[in-house]
Amino acid sequence: MKLGGFDLDFEVVEWGAMLLGYRSAPDAPTSKGVDVLNISLSYTDPSSMFRYWHSSSYSPTNQNWGHWSTPHPMACCSRRSKLSILRCATGYWQKRALVVDEAPWVWIARDLDRRAMSAKVKGFHPAQSWSQDFTSISMD
């Protein structure tokens, strides 16, 4: 991580304790003085953009734990007409670009995926998600 410019120390806690810190303000005692939480969250749903990054979604009321804000609007669509869906899709990609450019979160991946090491192994396909399917694997 240091090669990537990150100087890290870890405060390892039980999952429930981390969720308690996540649902508290960043300066609350339950957050243990940390600057970042490593929690498995998805943000692919447009409503998640509001929940994680809108300035009115600060914790402990909602899930913008780092209290990140931007002068650009992060409001999300709520009405569902054909025209509003098109506007929402366009707005979603604009907001996604903003989140990528301003980087309120950082995504770090360490690939530990299983690999077939022998030419005798047939039918192995690396997983595209969290679960590996071994049912298609055979050996010559």
Domain borders along the chain are 2-102
> How far is the C-alpha of 27 from the C-alpha of 45, rounded, in Å?
28
Residue 82 tokens read as: 């054909």
Q: Is the pLDDT of residue 19 over 80?
A: yes
- Averaged pLDDT, 69-76: 70
**Which residues, other chains included, contact 108 with Cβ-Cβ below 8 Å and sequence gap of 6+?**
1, 4, 6
Q: Per-residue pLDDT tens for 84-97?
A: 666 667 777 777 78
Question: In the prediction, which pLDDT does 95 show?
Answer: 79
pTM of the full predicted structure? 0.55
The tens digit of pLDDT for each residue in 23-72 reads 888 888 988 888 887 776 666 666 677 778 888 888 888 888 888 888 77
Between 129 and 52, whose confidence is greater? Answer: 52
* Helix (H) or strand (E) segment spanning residue 121: strand 121-122
pLDDT, the chain, mean: 77
Three-state secondary-structure class, residue 85? helix
- The segment with the largest mean pLDDT, out of 62-66, 73-77, 84-88, 107-111, is 62-66
